Structure 1
Amino acid sequence: MTDETASDDDGGGRAWTARVRRLVRARPKTALAATAAVAVLAAGVGTWAAGIGPFEEEDRYCWGAWEEGSGPEFLSDGDGSRTSEETAPTAKRPRGRCTVAIRSEHAGSTGTYVSKAEVTVTYGPAPGDAAKRVEWLDTYLSGSAVPLPDGLPGAVDGDRGLLVLPERCDTPDGRPTAVTLDSDARTDWNDGVSVPDGAELGGTRSVAALLVAAANRGMEAAGCAPAKPLRVTSPVLTLAEKKEDFFTRACRINGMELDEGTSDGLAYQVGAVTRDFQSCSVRLSRGADRFFDALMVAQPRLAALLDGVTGDKPPARGWRGTGVFTDTGGYKVVRAECAGRPVTLVALAPATRETTPYFVAFANSVTQRLGCAPIAPGGAGR
């Protein structure tokens, strides 16, 4: 594995807007209107996302983060109906939520269909329950997620993202506050069939711009904004490869071999590989069901989301550091010093599946790459 994931995303807002406008003109307006509209929503990373300019309050969405009428058709007049619901965070109640949705009805050769798309941003603390927190974090870090650039503690992919806010926004009990973005799109046919679709937010760079803009506005409303707004100025890492068919070895890590019968029908995604973050996700090829997820997090604010989850003793005999292996919760987590700083490793799988050997292999592969003693028993990795 390489130590850093390559990037080919230049992040130019003007180029993105032009490209998406050409895409919209090229498509029939009666086909995939909602998903195309959402693609335009995130394509521009200029004034509408940065929150710049003398605009009226009613011309904005998501606590004023996204501007209406500045180019993106999702936020402008179109052939669909757009709705918005918002609850802004406050200093007394630092929780918020905003949803922007578009709905359009069409008549096709085989009948009518309705296209729907929705983008939701949530502002609030990490879940208090340990199992729910691990599951919540994995939602945004597994699969094709890549770290945010410019030292921002978080991750994004083409459909969702997570950003951990500065410590000044933490809850009184010490839990970090985060902003998350989720998207969904689907087409409902008149015969009752509903087909899910990608929301096409314009790529990881666009998702990062949306997320950071909403986070800045949310922090202002909650009274914990830093002196300088958070910004995305550097390219966002992109994965060199897409999800791969599974043969015997998951994520090309020695020790994560499965027998031929077990590996049949599986596929894996090699995620980002950096000194702050690494992921490996194995899924059933014919669906999104999890077989096994493994994560390594060393970025301090991102790792702080797991404070209080790792316990105060080794998770099992031979493991270094502190951690918890649950029997029924389906997760394993361990934290230990590695190359001069704490590293947190997480594994998630259905509670009925034994995944300890895979986690051992993943943990030792990570520690070998980072240049420290093994965290898991069984050698120094290969």
Structure 2
Amino acid sequence: MEDGGKRRRRWVVLGAVLAGAVLISGITLWVTDSSPFKDRYCWGAWEQDSGPRFLGDDALGKSGSERVTAESGTPGSGGKTATCTLTVSSSVHDDDSTQPITFQDRVTLSYGPVPEAPDKRRDWIDRYFSGSASALPGGLDGLVASDRAMLILPEVCDVAGRASAVTLWAESWGDGHLGKRAMPLTIGSLPDVSTMLLDAADVGMRKAGCAPEKPLRTSVPMVRLAERDDSAGNPLCRIPGVTFTWGKDMRYQQQVGVVGDRLQTCSVVWKQRGSPDEPAAQFVMAGSPRTAAVFAGLPEGSGQGLVRRDCDGRNTVFYAHIGPGLGDGGGEKDRQVFERFTDAVGKRVGCGPAKGTEGAAR
């Protein structure tokens, strides 16, 4: 039999071997940037190198690149909007200047109620109901593009009668001797962006205390439904009767988005190189209860660009926001265009007469 001293020495040696193995494993994980040493961002919703391009090494390809995150507020705190901004900064040598060209790629995650003020709500709708975005599958109320995404949350998450939503918004800027210029930024593929959106929604709802029993997921593949943008023309987005006077030096681009029985989107933007796209007109038909809830509280009537109709038993919203550069500032021409949109799309989805009343010009 072994005496006590030999047994103690054996346990000491075994303990040293195990400790060394754990140390080596930890170093290996750290060197290879493997979990549990990967960074987590935005209230823990996202993990480094988890799939989307913006969270991986590809986003850090330029010299001096670094990724930083900044959170403002917590989802559900006081019913206010909480935001998290994930920024990748980098720079490259500029042959025409002593100063380098700097770049900032930024993705902003927001959780909270849709804006209350009508003008800010319309701007929000212009951004997230863009024709560049495709509908989330599996009955989820949301839209996803490579540079933006939006999910309308269940009614239990509403704040003061306003629907709550989770949004993603990407923007990129370069700054050099030619000045500051906007550039396109891709967060990731549509499936990756939709996963980021749903992960953020799950974390946000848990923190806000309104999460469903099961996390929001879809087993249906995310596919692109929106068409490529092209020069705007008549009829706009192939909607009968929706026409504008475009002018000769035209930089308007139209985007045919979702075309379904419960959602249709059409966008017009003014494009100028080096500047963000400027929304010029937005048309939406929304027939699901949660999507229609986004428009609750806005002024209604044809003159306001918002009416409700019964479409095959569904309370359906028809909405238009026409900018002053393209329309007549909410006057008679804008009203006529909106009514043609409502009639054409309403006939397509089987709607009855409009529920809204005539409203004053916006």
> With structure 1 as the length reference, what TM-score do the two structures score?
0.72
Q: Secondary structure at the match of 2:297?
A: coil
**Residue 146 in 1 paired to residue 168 in 2?**
no
Select the residue among 160, 168, 172 that pairs with 1:181. Answer: 168
C-alpha distance in structure 1 between counterparts of 2:144 and 2:204, whole Å: 18
Select the residue among 341, 346, 350 that pairs with 1:371. Answer: 350
C-alpha distance in structure 2 between counterparts of 1:86 and 1:269, whole Å: 33
C-alpha distance in structure 2 between counterparts of 1:337 and 1:258, whole Å: 28
**Residue 202 in 1 paired to residue 191 in 2?**
no
1:68 aligned partner? 48
1:104 aligned partner? 90
Q: Quote the offset at 1:122 in angstroms.
A: 0.8
**Residue 137 in 1 paired to residue 125 in 2?**
yes
**Residue 274 in 1 paired to residue 260 in 2?**
yes
The answer as to whether partners of 1:298 and 1:343 remain within 8 angstroms in 2 is yes
CA gap of 1:233–1:350, structure 2 versus 1, over 3 A, is same
Q: Quote the offset at 1:298 in angstroms.
A: 0.9
The answer as to whether partners of 2:76 and 2:112 remain within 8 angstroms in 1 is no
Q: Quote the offset at 1:285 in angstroms.
A: 5.2
Q: Quote the offset at 1:192 in angstroms.
A: 4.9
Q: Quote the offset at 1:357 in angstroms.
A: 2.0
C-alpha distance in structure 1 between counterparts of 2:165 and 2:245, whole Å: 40
The answer as to whether partners of 1:268 and 1:281 remain within 8 angstroms in 2 is yes
Amino acid of the structure 2 residue aligned with 1:60: R
Q: Cα deviation per residue 1:215-256 (whole Å; 9 max; x = unaligned)?
A: 111111112111101114322242363122234321112212
Unaligned runs of 5+ in 1: 1-52, 317-324, 327-331, 378-382
C-alpha distance in structure 1 between counterparts of 2:343 and 2:355, whole Å: 6
1:349 aligned partner? 322
1:222 aligned partner? 208
Percent sequence identity over aligned pairs? 35
CA gap of 1:374–1:269, structure 2 versus 1, over 3 A, is farther
CA gap of 1:262–1:221, structure 2 versus 1, over 3 A, is same
Q: Quote the offset at 1:93 in angstroms.
A: 2.6
Q: Quote the offset at 1:59 in angstroms.
A: 2.8
Q: Secondary structure at the match of 1:127?
A: coil
Q: Quote the offset at 1:70 in angstroms.
A: 4.9
C-alpha distance in structure 2 between counterparts of 1:369 and 1:281, whole Å: 19
1:159 aligned partner? 147
1:28 aligned partner? none
Q: Quote the offset at 1:115 in angstroms.
A: 1.9
1:309 aligned partner? 298
CA gap of 1:291–1:85, structure 2 versus 1, over 3 A, is closer
Q: Quote the offset at 1:289 in angstroms.
A: 3.4
Q: Cα deviation per residue 1:275-332 (whole Å; 9 max; x = unaligned)?
A: 1111122333557334322111112111111122255xxx25xxxxxxxx34xxxxx1
Q: Secondary structure at the match of 1:364?
A: helix
Unaligned runs of 5+ in 2: 1-33, 357-362
CA gap of 1:87–1:337, structure 2 versus 1, over 3 A, is same
C-alpha distance in structure 2 between counterparts of 1:257 and 1:223, whole Å: 46
1:27 aligned partner? none
How many residue pairs get aligned? The number is 306
2:27 aligned partner? none
C-alpha distance in structure 2 between counterparts of 1:280 and 1:267, whole Å: 11
Select the residue among 281, 284, 287 that pairs with 1:292. Answer: 281
Q: Secondary structure at the match of 2:102?
A: strand
The answer as to whether partners of 2:153 and 2:166 remain within 8 angstroms in 1 is yes
1:35 aligned partner? none
Tell me whether 85-94 or 298-307 shows the greater mean CA deviation.
85-94
Q: Quote the offset at 1:274 in angstroms.
A: 0.8
Q: Quote the offset at 1:196 in angstroms.
A: 1.4
Q: Quote the offset at 1:158 in angstroms.
A: 1.6
Q: Secondary structure at the match of 1:343?
A: strand
Q: Quote the offset at 1:340 in angstroms.
A: 0.8
Considering only CA atoms, is the larger Rg found in Structure 1 or Structure 2?
2
CA gap of 1:289–1:182, structure 2 versus 1, over 3 A, is closer
The answer as to whether partners of 1:292 and 1:355 remain within 8 angstroms in 2 is no
Which structure exhibits the higher relative contact order, with contacts defined as CA atoms closer than 8 Å and separated by 6 or more residues? 1
CA gap of 1:345–1:237, structure 2 versus 1, over 3 A, is farther
C-alpha distance in structure 2 between counterparts of 1:242 and 1:265, whole Å: 16
C-alpha distance in structure 1 between counterparts of 2:131 and 2:145, whole Å: 9
Q: Cα deviation per residue 1:321-353 (whole Å; 9 max; x = unaligned)?
A: xxxx34xxxxx1111211111110111112544
Q: Quote the offset at 1:361 in angstroms.
A: 1.6
> With structure 2 as the length reference, what TM-score do the two structures score?
0.76
Select the residue among 250, 253, 265 that pairs with 2:236. Answer: 250
Select the residue among 74, 87, 90 that pairs with 1:89. Answer: 74
Amino acid of the structure 2 residue aligned with 1:267: Q
**Residue 283 in 1 paired to residue 269 in 2?**
yes
Select the residue among 125, 135, 144 that pairs with 2:113. Answer: 125
